């Protein structure tokens, strides 16, 4: 393959040679090259295969809109699929491979799909593969059989599974003015805003600022446009108020002028510096946004327009001017507007032969004729390209006379030998960001393009984005926009003098040349003009139907170049003007963004860990931890060789026989303070708290407004106006919000503060027959005997010189105490208790033993208060005060909530002495083969050391009436069936003699 690199020119650094590979073959390029330009310079023209027909494809574009040249970039085992070669900056060691081809890019077996041609037209799948109506392949089977192959054939790149070790980061930014796009308009806007002293961010998706100035070949203030741009960038760099973000694509315009941008920080580097993220996700809250995002050139639709070698005119120009690469030696330009004449001249200047300019318009202005001769090109006005020739690369094309008004072709076909066809179908402003926010774009019949909608948020447009396609206009608009965005009145920056190639910005309204052969509209998805017409015939005429029926615009390029031609063809089929057809909805992201960047700092760190003060102690002392929400809690403290069941049975047994201690720091704790605290609690809890004496605690139950059970816990009265409420671990946040809502919104007259003090207190619950003796051995400053510390009493004292608060209450059913200390002292107090407990056989126990003991006692937790149960269902109706209203009281007696067949809490005993499983169901009649007739389910189960049986808590229909009856556990998921007895949920010590002591 021959080198297409020009001798001079371009903005590449010829002194720096970079080595990389593509499909395993080594190549070189220069700093400043993209993968596309470097390969093109090396003579590569075949870059990819299309989605459906696997047709050979070359470069269409030079920027983000590239639909054909998608590659996978490899970093070791880490794959990055579907990246346009035009957006990959080369670096030493870059490894890129082509996609969607087998065995190789040049010889792709699936290209046979093309033979399916007309059968594989739009809507093909909906009409077939239903399979036989009867027999083994009926139903979904036949389709699934076919689908298996279809799925394998579909898809572009292959995603990797190797972990990506890169880091991704988020930045929150605030500015007065965000300028998106750094072409002449954007640069000038940034400068004007910065001159006013505004905080400015300038984001440009390309590596280099300047936009079209980098390749337009125009002159600004007597210098090449690129130099002018460079000067401006230099001035902006020196301004403290300005943040310049190159390689940063603003991809989303969200409510509240919040914009999302992706900065590719190290994608162009061989290695990242320490701690440097691969990509940075900028969430930018902007006062005002200047949208200076430029425009896209559109392809023309004609037979063979997808052959490698056919590309957009400005792309050809850009390869020549910016990258010093000639896309072809013999070039033909095909256009419906003036802009391509400039491209022709540029290509000529760069050293290509411009054989002809084919213009669909018959009357071409004298200026354009002059440009044609300047390019040394034959001007074929009133002509159109009707076919292209060649295999995997363009070798020639055919032109015919074309009538602009009728679209008719006439005369003989003439063949022209060419290896590059530079086409221009006019320009579409890049209105994506403006449209994302919701407003509809407006069709401009002069520009033959959708122009930006009226702003729905605070943005101002400038430059080609607004349809102002000349550089002088772009600069003037940019300055005005920057000034206005910064709230200034007089600009400091003078307007430069632009010398540009002249041209009429309005194209002829020609989108398609109708001739024989496949004419592509959506290149990546192989949607042809015929597909659009088929959609029309079948009634899929709305643009949104057109899109979904043909998949036009649904590929990785999101139809950046193809949408307008596609809907123009539909408009013609309908005989309607384009504005009545409309355009499909623009959605974020503007260009695809990596999922890693969106997860940003949470990649690999989804949720923080919540640790109790004694966490490290538990780990050091052999606890197996259990994750409960964000918390970690000891599950068991297993001894060597113990199973989980052996461990919790040992722990529970020891607790009931002597004493056990458990970390309860995760319980939600809320300080409820103020003169109205007691009144507030009376309203919030179903039972009474205003009658609670200072120094005492009470078990409380809360309902939701709708009358269902919400949460339970003990609340301690520490002072007349000072309560400490505890909640379940899982509901702590919810209860807090519930209380705050009522205080703020419903009862603002109550003087109460609620504060989360969960983290203030370390809590240890110590229970068992020896618990009091252990406390007595280590607590100073207070007695803990029955008189000083009766059931539900609270005392203050010291353990290990640390102030503690002790409340005598019990979850385990034993004589038990909760010892609270400042969290910073938690481990110290915990260790002191354990030390004191040694002579008494104190064990540490975890959640499993805790659960076991609560099941034995029949206490409820979140498994039973599951948002569907009432106080009555759980036999907590004794807590429903009749003396006062409370949250939920008005709603709790509705018919559905008091029905007799509701699920009610019961106990179950295994009669076959085999363990239960959580989530098993209960049935009256066992039918293992065909389980049915569930009357309830198990919420919690364990082996009960106290009873010597496998037991469970369950919610069973009309459960209370079933005490003493037999039934079966039915657990088809785990194939466990067997007889049970339904009993009261209070298995153990039902009259509470143990805890009352």
Partner 1 sequence: MVERQSPLEPAYHPGSHGNFEHGVDVILSETRPGSILQLAAWPGEEKRLIDAIRKVTGLALPDGAGGGVSNGGRAAFGFAPGKFTVVDEAEGLASAFAGVITPDIGTVTDLSHGRTAIRIAGPKAEWVMAKFFAIDFALPAFPLGAGRSTNHHDVFAQIQRSGADQFDIYVFRSFARSFWKALCHASEEVGYEVH
Partner 2 sequence: MLITCPYCGPRDVIEFTYQGDGNRERPQPVSQDLDAWNAYVYDRLNPAGDHNEIWQHSGGCRAHLRVVRNTVTHEILSTAFARGGHKSAGHRTEGKP
Partner 3 sequence: MAEYSAFSLLKNALSGNKDWKPAWRKPDPKASYDVIVIGGGGHGLSTAYYLAKEHGITNVAVLEKGWLGSGNVGRNTTAVRSNYLLPSNTRFYEHSMKLWENLSHDLNYNVMFSQRGCLNLAHTPAQLDDYARRGNAMRHLGVDAELMNVSEIKRLVPALDVSGSARFPVLGGLMQRRAGSARHDAVAWGYARGADRRGVDIIENCEVTGFLRDGDRITGVSTTRGEIRAKKVALAVAGSTGRVMQLAGIEKMPIESHVLQAFVSESLKPIIDTILTFGMGHFYISQSDKGGLVYGGDLDGYNSYAQRGSLPIVDEVMSEMLALFPGLARVRMLRSWGGLCDMTMDGSPIITTGPLPGMYLNCGWCYGGFKATPASGWCFAWTIAKDEPHEFNAPFTLDRFYRGLIIDDKGQGATPRLH
Ligand X SMILES: Cc1cc2nc3c(=O)[nH]c(=O)nc-3n(C[C@H](O)[C@H](O)[C@H](O)COP(=O)(O)O)c2cc1C
Ligand Y SMILES: NC(=O)c1ccc[n+]([C@@H]2O[C@H](COP(=O)([O-])OP(=O)(O)OC[C@H]3O[C@@H](n4cnc5c(N)ncnc54)[C@H](O)[C@@H]3O)[C@@H](O)[C@H]2O)c1
Residues at the contact surface with partner 1, assessed by CB under 8 A: 169-174, 199, 273-277, 283, 285, 601-602, 605, 607-613, 616, 630-631, 671, 673-675, 721, 751, 753, 755-762, 800-802, 822-828
Binding footprint of partner 2 on the chain (CB under 8 A): 254-258, 283, 285, 438, 456, 683, 705-706, 737, 740-741, 744-746, 748, 885-886, 889-891, 894
Pairwise CA distance, residues 789 & 795, whole Å: 7
Residue 376's region, left for phi above 0, alpha for psi from -120 to 50, else beta, is left
**283: cis peptide before it, omega within 30°?**
no
SS3 346: helix
Alpha-helical runs (H) found in 49-131: 113-116
Task: Name 26's bridge partners.
Answer: 21
Question: Within positions 567 to 596, which residues make up the interface with ligand Y, using CB under 6 A?
Answer: 590
Backbone angles phi, psi at 153, to 5 degrees: -75, -30
The number of residues that bind ligand X (CB under 6 A) is: 5
Q: At how many degrees (to 10) do helices 826-837 and 771-778 cross?
A: 120
**Least separation, in Å, of the C-beta of 981 and partner 2?**
39
Instruction: Round the CA-based radius of gyration of the chain to a whole number and report it.
Output: 38
| Count of positions on this chain that bind partner 3 (CB under 8 A) | 120
* Binding partner at 169 among partner 2, partner 1, partner 3, none, C-beta below 5 to 8 Å by kind: partner 1
Locate 79 and state its tokens: 């794959």
Residue with Cβ nearer ligand Y (327 or 463): 463
Our CB check for partner 3 shows the closer of 703 and 784 to be 703
* Token pair recorded at residue 231: 């000067």
Q: What's the token pair of residue 784?
A: 């803990």
Nearer to ligand Y, 339 or 666 (CB): 339
**Burial class of 720 by CB neighbour count within 10 A (0 to 12, 13 to 18, 19+):** exposed
C-beta of 4: minimal distance to ligand Y in Å?
Answer: 24
CB contact burial 948-977 (16+ within 10 A = b; e otherwise)? ebbbbbbbbbebbebeeeebbbbbeeeebb
Q: How far is the CB of 427 from ligand Y (least distance, A)?
A: 4
Structure tokens at 775: 């406390």
Nearer residue to ligand Y within complex by CB, 341 or 689:
341
- Kind and range of the H or E element at 192? helix 184-195
Among 810, 820, 841, 834, which Cα is nearest to 988's? 810
Partner interacting with residue 247 (select from ligand X, partner 1, partner 2, none; CB below 5-8 Å by kind): none
Cβ-contact 254, 260 below 8 angstroms: yes
Out of 3, 104, 140, 691, the residue judged to bind partner 3 by CB under 8 A: 140
The verdict on 65 binding partner 3 (CB under 8 A) reads no
CB of 239 to partner 1, least distance (A): 15
Helical H runs in 427-513? Answer: 432-436, 471-485
Q: What residue has token string 């957006």?
A: 87
464 makes contact with ligand Y (CB under 6 A): yes
- The binder of 157, among ligand Y, partner 1, partner 3, none, by C-beta within 5 to 8 A per type, is partner 3
The separation between CA 348 and the C-alpha centre of its own chain, rounded to angstroms, equals: 47
The token duo for 179 is 């300028």
Half-sphere exposure of 59 (CA within 13 A, CB side): 33
For partner 3, the binding residue among 972, 983, 984, 989 (CB under 8 A) is 972
Residue with smaller CB distance to partner 1, 119 or 273 = 273
- Minimum Å gap between C-beta 549 and ligand Y is 29
- How far is 543 from 538, CA to CA, in rounded Å? 13
Q: Which does 438 bind (CB under 5 to 8 A by kind): ligand Y, partner 2, partner 1, none?
A: partner 2
Q: How far is the CB of 366 from ligand X (least distance, A)?
A: 44
Cα torsion at 990, 805, 727, 837 (round to 10°)? -50
CA dist 202 and 204 (Å) reads 7
Site for partner 3 in 890-909 (CB under 8 A): 891, 894-898
Contact call for residue 430 and ligand Y (CB under 6 A):
yes
Q: Cα 470–184–265 angle (5° rounding)?
A: 140
174 binds, among partner 3, ligand X, partner 1, none (CB under 5 to 8 A by kind): partner 1
| Residues in region 433-472 near partner 3 by CB under 8 A | 437-438
Among 106, 973, 979, 996, binds partner 3 (CB under 8 A): 973
CB of 274 to partner 1, least distance (A): 4
Q: Which residue has the tokens 């026989």?
A: 657
| Calculated CA dihedral for residues 27, 31, 36, 42, nearest 10 degrees | -40
Show the site string, 169-208: x = touches ligand X by CB under 6 A, - = not.
----------------------------------------
From the list ligand Y, partner 3, partner 2, none, pick the one residue 464 interacts with, judged by a Cβ distance below 5 to 8 Å according to partner type.
ligand Y
Q: Among residues 78, 146, 381, 554, which is the contact residue for ligand X, using CB under 6 A?
A: 554
Cβ of residue 567: shortest distance to partner 3, in angstroms?
A: 14
Residue closer to partner 1 (CB basis): 44 or 614:
614
Distance CA 76, CA 79 (A): 8
Does 602 help bind partner 3 (rule: CB under 8 A)?
yes
Helix pair angle (529-537, 543-550), 10° resolution? 120
If binding is defined by CB under 6 A, does position 458 make contact with ligand X? no
What is the secondary structure of 598-648 as a DSSP string?
Answer: HHGGGTT--S--B--TTHHHHHHTTEEEEEETTEEEEEEEPPTT--HHHHH
Residue among 89, 78, 83 at smallest CA distance from 48 = 83
Among candidate residues 236, 281, 271, 327, the one with its CA nearest the CA of residue 43: 327
The nearer residue to ligand X, 589 or 769, going by C-beta atoms, is: 589
587 binds ligand X (CB under 6 A): yes
Q: What is the dihedral of CA 297, 298, 299, 301, to 10 degrees?
A: -160
Residue 910 β-bridge partners: 980
Window 621-650: residues binding partner 3 (CB under 8 A): 626-628
CB of 205 to ligand Y, least distance (A): 4
Work out the angle at residue 547's Cα, subtended by the Cα atoms of residues 359 and 151, and round it to the nearest 5 degrees: 115
Contacted entry of partner 3, partner 1, ligand Y, none for residue 417, CB cut-off 5 to 8 Å set by kind: none
Q: Does position 124 bind partner 3 by CB under 8 A?
A: yes
Selected from 585, 780, 838, 963, the binder of ligand X by CB under 6 A is: 585
- In which residue are the tokens 């999101």 written? 558
Q: Does 427 bind ligand Y (CB under 6 A)?
A: yes
Closer Cβ to partner 1, 723 or 845, answer by number: 723
In angstroms, give the least distance from the CB of 183 to ligand Y: 2
| 295 touching ligand Y, by CB under 6 A | yes
257 binds, among partner 1, partner 2, partner 3, none (CB under 5 to 8 A by kind): partner 2
**525 is in the binding site of which of ligand X, ligand Y, partner 1, none (Cβ under 5 to 8 A by kind)?**
none
Binding mask 496-535 for ligand X (x = CB under 6 A): ----------------------------------------
Write out the residues near ligand X by the rule CB under 6 A. Answer: 544, 554, 558, 585, 587
Summarize as ranges the residues that interact with ligand Y (CB under 6 A).
Answer: 180-186, 203-206, 211-212, 216, 249-250, 292-295, 339, 427, 430, 433, 463-465, 469-471, 474, 503, 505, 590
């Amino acid at each position: 393959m021959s080198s297409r690199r020009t001798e001079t020119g371009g903005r590449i650094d010829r002194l720096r040679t970079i080595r990389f590979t593509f499909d395993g073959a080594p190549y070189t390029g220069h700093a400043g090259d993209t993968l596309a330009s470097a390969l093109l310079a090396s003579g590569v023209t075949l870059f990819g295969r299309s989605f459906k027909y696997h047709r050979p494809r070359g470069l269409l574009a030079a920027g983000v809109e590239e639909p054909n040249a998608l590659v996978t970039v490899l970093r070791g085992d880490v794959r990055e699929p579907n990246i346009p070669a035009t957006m990959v900056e080369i670096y030493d060691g870059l490894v890129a491979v082509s996609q969607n081809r087998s065995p190789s890019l040049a010889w792709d077996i699936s290209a046979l799909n093309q033979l399916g041609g007309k059968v594989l037209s739009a809507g093909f799948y909906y009409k077939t593969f239903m399979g036989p109506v009867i027999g083994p392949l009926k139903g979904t089977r036949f389709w699934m059989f076919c689908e298996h192959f279809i799925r394998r054939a579909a898809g572009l790149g292959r995603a990797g599974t190797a972990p990506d070790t890169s880091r991704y980061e988020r930045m929150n930014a605030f500015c007065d003015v965000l300028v998106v796009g750094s072409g002449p308009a954007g640069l000038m806007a940034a400068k004007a805003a910065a001159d006013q002293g505004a905080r400015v961010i300038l984001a440009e998706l390309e590596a280099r600022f300047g936009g079209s100035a980098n390749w337009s070949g125009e002159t600004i203030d007597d210098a090449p446009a690129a130099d002018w741009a460079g000067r401006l960038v230099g001035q902006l760099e020196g301004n403290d108020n300005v943040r310049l973000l190159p390689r940063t694509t603003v991809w989303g315009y969200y409510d509240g002028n919040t914009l999302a941008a992706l900065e590719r920080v190290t994608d162009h580097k061989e290695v990242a510096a320490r701690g440097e993220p691969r990509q940075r996700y900028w969430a930018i809250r902007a006062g005002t946004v200047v949208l200076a995002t430029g425009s896209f050139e559109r392809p023309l639709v004609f037979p063979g327009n997808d052959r490698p070698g056919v590309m957009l005119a400005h792309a050809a120009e850009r390869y020549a001017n910016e990258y010093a690469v000639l896309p072809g030696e013999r070039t033909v330009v095909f256009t419906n507007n003036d802009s391509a004449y400039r491209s022709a001249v540029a290509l000529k200047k760069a050293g290509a032969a411009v054989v002809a300019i084919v213009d669909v318009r018959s009357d071409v202005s004298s200026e354009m004729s002059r440009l044609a001769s300047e390019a040394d090109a034959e001007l074929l006005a009133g002509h159109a390209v009707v076919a292209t020739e060649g295999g995997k690369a363009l070798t020639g094309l055919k032109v015919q006379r074309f009538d602009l008004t009728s679209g008719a072709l006439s005369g003989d076909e003439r063949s022209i030998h060419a290896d590059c066809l530079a086409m221009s179908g006019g320009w579409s402003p890049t209105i994506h960001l403006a449209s994302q926010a919701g407003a509809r774009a407006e069709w401009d019949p002069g520009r033959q393009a959708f122009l930006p909608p009226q702003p729905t948020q605070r943005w101002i447009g400038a430059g080609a984005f607004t349809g102002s396609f000349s550089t002088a206009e772009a600069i003037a608009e940019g300055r005005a926009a920057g000034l206005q965005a910064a709230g200034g009145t007089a600009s400091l920056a003078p307007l430069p003098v632009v010398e540009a190639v002249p041209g009429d910005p309005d194209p002829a309204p020609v989108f398609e040349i109708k001739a024989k052969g496949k004419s592509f509209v959506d290149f990546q998805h192989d949607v042809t003009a015929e597909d659009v017409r088929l959609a029309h015939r079948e009634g899929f005429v709305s643009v949104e139907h057109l899109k979904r029926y043909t998949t036009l615009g649904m590929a990785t390029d999101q139809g950046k170049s193809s949408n307008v031609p596609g809907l123009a063809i539909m408009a013609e089929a309908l005989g309607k003007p384009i504005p009545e057809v409309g355009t499909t909805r623009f959605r974020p992201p503007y260009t695809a963004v990596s999922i890693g960047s969106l997860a940003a700092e949470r990649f690999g760190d989804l949720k923080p860990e919540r640790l109790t003060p004694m966490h490290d102690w538990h780990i050091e002392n052999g606890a197996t931890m259990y994750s409960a929400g964000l918390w970690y809690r000891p599950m068991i403290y297993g001894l060597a060789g113990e199973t989980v069941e052996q461990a919790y049975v040992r722990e529970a047994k020891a607790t009931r026989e002597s004493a056990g201690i458990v970390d309860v720091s995760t319980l939600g704790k809320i300080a409820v303070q103020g003169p109205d605290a007691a009144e507030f609690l009376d309203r919030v809890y179903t039972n009474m708290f205003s009658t609670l004496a200072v120094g005492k605690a009470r078990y409380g139950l809360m309902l939701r407004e709708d009358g269902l059970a919400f949460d339970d816990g003990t609340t301690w009265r520490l002072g007349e106006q000072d309560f400490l409420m505890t909640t379940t671990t899982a509901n702590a946040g919810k209860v807090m919000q519930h209380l705050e809502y009522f205080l703020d919104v419903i009862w603002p007259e109550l003087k109460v503060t609620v504060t989360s003090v969960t983290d203030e207190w370390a809590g240890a619950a110590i229970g068992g027959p020896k618990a009091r003796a252990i406390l007595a051995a280590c607590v100073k400053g207070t007695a803990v005997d029955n008189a000083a510390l009766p059931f539900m009493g609270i005392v203050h004292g010291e353990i290990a010189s640390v102030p503690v608060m002790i409340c005598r209450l019990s979850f385990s059913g034993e004589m038990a105490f909760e010892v609270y200390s400042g969290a910073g002292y938690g481990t110290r107090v915990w260790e002191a208790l354990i030390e004191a407990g040694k002579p008494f056989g104190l064990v540490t126990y975890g959640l499993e033993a805790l659960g076991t003991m609560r099941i034995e006692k029949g206490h409820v937790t979140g498994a039973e208060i599951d948002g569907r149960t009432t106080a009555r269902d759980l036999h907590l109706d004794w807590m429903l005060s009749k003396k006062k209203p409370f949250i939920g009281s008005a709603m709790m007696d509705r018919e559905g909530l008091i029905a007799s067949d509701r699920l009610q809490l019961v106990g179950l005993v295994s009669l076959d002495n085999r363990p239960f499983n959580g989530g098993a169901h209960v049935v009256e009649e066992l039918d293992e083969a065909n389980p049915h007739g569930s009357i309830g389910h198990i919420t919690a189960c364990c082996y009960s050391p106290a009873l010597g049986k496998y037991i469970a808590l369950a919610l069973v229909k009309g459960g209370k009436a079933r005490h003493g009856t037999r039934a079966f556990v039915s657990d088809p998921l785990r194939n466990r069936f067997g007889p049970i007895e339904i009993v009261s949920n209070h298995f153990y010590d039902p009259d509470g003699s143990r805890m009352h002591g």
